[in-house]
């Protein structure tokens, strides 16, 4: 038997150390460890951690470990393709069509049936956002929808009633003009005046600087592509046809173009250039240079953090006449938790995501993030103790017949990018709305055709695989 030389021993130690990194995670004190990746950071991560701590204390079989992960969608796909995904992941509802069609998620229907969880428990729209091609792929954590936040102080300064936000689209536009301030030279002096006080020559000459705007459709963050919803756009026929250039979207793009024509491309560009990092003190609404903005309930957190003195109000964002059948229009989305394909502990992961659906748990999470829940039932205490005074409005909006969501398409991310490029060309007056949207339509239809060709080839196999999943 060869003697163990120090050299061999060192080599063995090195090998063992390098392999240790590849070992599966530890299972603490007999508990199954469920790894949970979530997109949230900061106070949102803290609030979920608190819920996880409750769950870990509530039983002795499963321990959930939370990890805040940036670009969680991309990293989840790569981890899933390598065969080492987390057990639970927090995604956006827009990810579900793409991830499920690519086989990255576990269908939950069998488990949900056993657990007695179904559509009846949820606000219909949010339940729908968790489903794709007849299967349920995730469960909601915190949903959201948007409304029009406005600055009461700026309303007062412009001679508007701070308790009366715009109710129609025409009012939104006229109030927006009244709330817009410009700086220009008059008789050799730099003066700051309302946009509506300019002479026609001054307006046409466009030799002014925008210092405050009433409402700028270009400032809608991740909801920019959704403006079509307020104009009745459909985006997609639900089957094989992209509807980028439908009448509603055309109207929304024409509105963006009109804004550019009103203020001038360079003036608008200059103002937009001043926008800082989103959700920071440099955001124009929080900085007091924009009087109205479309945002979700989470905005309250940022107001409290960056503009605690802001006197704000919030109301449904008006839509074009006839859109939404007279009901308030909003754009909704939902944060969801999913179980990736290949998760090591799907049953324990499922136990955890079911725990998140308990009314007391969902309400605790929602309250600490200033949001609401996707559940149909709302406890009395939830509304009474909620730190967000506008939460009732957001709940009503999410249940409105006018509530919309972005199309349930696996190529939505690409579609969104294409619409963004079309929007930039329209607001720079490089193309007409019709031409820009025709190009987006052509590109996205071509892409959808490719996706459908692949789905036609492998869709049946996928569906069979999903139907037969029975690890519950």
Partner 1 sequence: MTSGDRKRTWIGLAFVSPWLVGFAAFTLYPVCASVYFSFCDYDVLSPPVWIGLLNYQDMVSDSVFWKSVWNTLFFNLMALPLGLVSALVLALMLNQPVRMRGVFRAVYYLPSLVPAVASAMVWLWILNGRLGLLNQALMAVGIAHPPQWLGDPAWAKPSLALVSLWGCGNTVVIYLAALQGVPRSLLEAAMIDGASAWRRLIHVTLPAISPVIYFNLLIGIIGGLQVFTTAFVMGGAERSTLFYAIYIYQNAFEYRHMGYASAMAWILCLMILALTWLASRLSRSLVHYQGD
Q: Which of 269, 305, 347, 396 binds partner 1 (CB under 8 A)?
A: 269
Contacts (Cβ under 8 Å, ≥6 apart) of 123: 143, 374, 375, 376, 398, 399
Among 43, 428, 438, 452, which residue interacts with partner 1 (rule: CB under 8 A)?
428
Q: How many residues bind partner 1 (CB under 8 A)?
A: 31
If one asks whether residue 191 binds partner 1 (CB under 8 A), the answer comes out as no
Q: Is 413 in the site for partner 1 (CB under 8 A)?
A: yes
- Provide CB contacts within 8 A for 462, sequence distance 6+: 101, 103
Whose Cβ is closer to partner 1: residue 279's or residue 417's?
417
Quote the least distance from Cβ 15 to partner 1, whole Å.
Answer: 12
Indicate left, alpha or beta for 127 from its phi (over 0: left) and psi (-120 to 50: alpha).
alpha
Q: Facing residues of 150 across strands? A: 292, 313
Do the Cβ atoms of 130 and 92 come closer than 8 Å? Answer: no
Separation CA 351–CA 231 (nearest Å): 42
Q: Does residue 39 touch partner 1 according to CB under 8 A?
A: no
- Helix residue spans in 61-196 (DSSP H): 72-81, 95-101, 109-115, 124-129, 152-157, 169-178
DSSP of 404-460: E-----TTHHHHHHHHHHHHHHHHTTSS-HHHHHHHHHHHHHHHHHHHHHHHHHHHH
Using CB under 8 A, which of 91, 386, 443, 448 touches partner 1?
A: 443
One residue of 8, 167, 454, 471 binding partner 1 per CB under 8 A:
454
206 binding partner 1? (CB under 8 A): no
247 belongs to the binding site for partner 1 (CB under 8 A): no
| Alpha-helix runs per DSSP H in 68-151 | 72-81, 95-101, 109-115, 124-129
Token look-up 């499922």 returns 350
Q: How far is the CB of 7 from partner 1 (least distance, A)?
A: 12
User: By C-beta, is 279 or 359 nearer to partner 1?
Assistant: 279
Give SS3 for 374.
coil
424 binds partner 1 (CB under 8 A): yes
Query: Helix (H, G, I), strand (E, B), or coil: what is residue 219?
Result: coil
CA 252 from centroid of its chain's CA atoms:
20
Does residue 225 belong to the site contacting partner 1 (CB under 8 A)?
Answer: no
Least Å distance, CB 98 to partner 1, is 8
Identify the H or E element spanning 194. strand 189-194
Distance of CA 124 to the CA centre of its chain: 18
The two most distant CA atoms of the chain are separated, in Å, by 102
- The DSSP secondary-structure symbol of 131 reads E
Does position 254 interact with partner 1 (CB under 8 A)? The reply is: no
CA distance 104 to 466: 11
Give the span between the Cα atoms of 272 and 283, in whole angstroms.
10
> Of 87-95, 265-273, 307-315, 321-329, which segment contacts partner 1 by CB under 8 A?
265-273
Shortest Cβ 125–partner 1 spacing (Å): 27
Q: What b/e string do you get for 343-356 counting C-beta neighbours within 10 Å, with b at 16 or more?
A: bbbbebbbbbbbbb
Contact call for residue 151 and partner 1 (CB under 8 A): no
Verify binding: residue 77, partner 1, rule CB under 8 A: yes
Query: Residues in the chain, how many?
Result: 472
Residue 27 or residue 183: which is nearer to partner 1 going by CB?
183
Q: Where are the alpha helices (DSSP H) in 280-325?
A: 284-287, 299-306
Cβ proximity to partner 1, 74 vs 170, nearer residue: 74
Is 173 or 414 the residue whose CB approaches partner 1 more closely?
Answer: 414
Q: Provide, rounded to whole angstroms, the least separation between the CB of residue 255 and partner 1.
A: 19
What is the C-alpha separation between 409 and 423, in angstroms, rounded? 20
Is 15 an interacting residue with respect to partner 1 (CB under 8 A)?
Answer: no
Residues 143, 256, 425, 440: which binds partner 1 (CB under 8 A)? 425
Q: Is 256 in the site for partner 1 (CB under 8 A)?
A: no
Look at residue 200 and give its three-state secondary structure.
Answer: helix
For partner 1, the binding residue among 114, 430, 467, 471 (CB under 8 A) is: 430
Candidate segments 36-44, 176-184, 351-359, 422-430, binder of partner 1 by CB under 8 A: 422-430
Q: Which residue has the tokens 């619409």?
A: 419
**Which of the ranges 35-43, 44-52, 86-94, 418-426 carries the binding residues for partner 1, by CB under 8 A?**
418-426
**Residues in region 270-309 near partner 1 by CB under 8 A:** 270-274
What is the per-residue binding string for partner 1 in 93-112, x denoting contact by CB under 8 A? -----x---xxx--------
Residue among 376 and 447 whose Cβ is closer to partner 1: 447
Tell which one of 80, 141, 283, 388 touches partner 1 (CB under 8 A). 80
Q: How far apart are CA 218 and CA 196, in angstroms?
A: 20
- Please select the residue that binds partner 1; options are 458, 459, 465, 471, rule is CB under 8 A: 458
Least Å distance, CB 375 to partner 1, is: 32
Residues that bind partner 1 (CB under 8 A): 74, 77-78, 80-81, 98, 102-104, 266, 269-274, 411, 413-414, 417, 421, 424-425, 428, 430, 439, 443, 450, 454, 457-458
């Amino acid at each position: 038997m060869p003697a163990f030389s120090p050299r061999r021993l060192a080599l063995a130690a090195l090998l063992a150390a390098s392999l240790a990194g590849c070992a599966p995670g530890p299972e603490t004190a007999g508990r199954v460890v469920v790894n949970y990746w979530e997109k949230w950071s900061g106070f949102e991560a803290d609030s979920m951690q608190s819920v996880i701590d409750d769950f870990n204390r509530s039983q002795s079989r499963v321990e959930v470990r939370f990890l805040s992960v940036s670009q969680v969608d991309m990293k989840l796909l790569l981890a899933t393709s390598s065969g080492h995904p987390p057990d639970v992941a927090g995604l956006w509802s827009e990810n579900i069509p793409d991830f499920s069609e690519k086989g990255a998620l576990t269908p939950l229907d069998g488990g949900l049936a056993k657990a007695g969880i179904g559509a009846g428990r949820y606000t219909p729209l949010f339940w729908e956002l968790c489903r794709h091609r007849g299967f349920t792929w995730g469960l909601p954590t915190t949903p959201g929808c948007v409304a029009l936040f406005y600055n009461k102080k700026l309303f007062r300064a412009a001679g508007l009633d701070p308790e009366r936000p715009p109710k129609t689209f025409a009012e939104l536009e006229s109030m927006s003009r009244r709330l817009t301030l410009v700086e220009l030279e008059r008789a050799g002096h730099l003066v700051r005046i309302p946009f509506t006080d300019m002479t026609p020559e001054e307006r046409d000459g466009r030799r002014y600087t925008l210092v405050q705007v009433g409402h700028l459709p270009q400032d809608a963050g991740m909801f920019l592509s959704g403006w079509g919803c307020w104009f009745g756009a459909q985006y997609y026929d639900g089957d094989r046809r992209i509807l980028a250039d439908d009448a509603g979207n055309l109207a929304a793009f024409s509105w963006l173009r009109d804004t550019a024509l009103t203020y001038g491309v360079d003036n608008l560009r200059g103002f937009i250039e001043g926008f800082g990092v989103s959700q920071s003190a440099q955001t124009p609404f929080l900085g007091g240079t924009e009087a109205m903005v479309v945002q979700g309930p989470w905005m309250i957190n940022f107001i409290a953090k960056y503009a605690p003195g802001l006197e704000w109000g919030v109301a449904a964002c008006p839509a074009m006449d006839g859109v939404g059948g007279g009901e308030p229009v909003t754009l909704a989305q939902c944060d969801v938790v999913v179980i990736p394909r290949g998760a090591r502990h799907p049953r324990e992961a499922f136990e955890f995501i079911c725990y998140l659906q308990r009314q007391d748990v969902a309400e605790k999470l929602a309250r600490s993030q200033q949001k609401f829940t996707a559940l149909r039932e709302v406890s009395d205490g939830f509304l009474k103790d909620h730190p967000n005074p506008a939460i009732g409005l957001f709940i009503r909006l999410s249940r409105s017949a006018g509530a919309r969501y972005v199309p349930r398409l696996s190529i939505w991310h690409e579609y969104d990018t294409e619409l963004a490029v079309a929007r930039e060309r329209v607001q720079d007056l490089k193309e007409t709305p019709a031409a820009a949207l025709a190009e987006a339509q052509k590109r996205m239809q071509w892409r959808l055709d490719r996706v459908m060709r692949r789905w036609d080839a492998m869709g049946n196999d996928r569906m069979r695989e999903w139907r037969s999943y029975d690890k519950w």
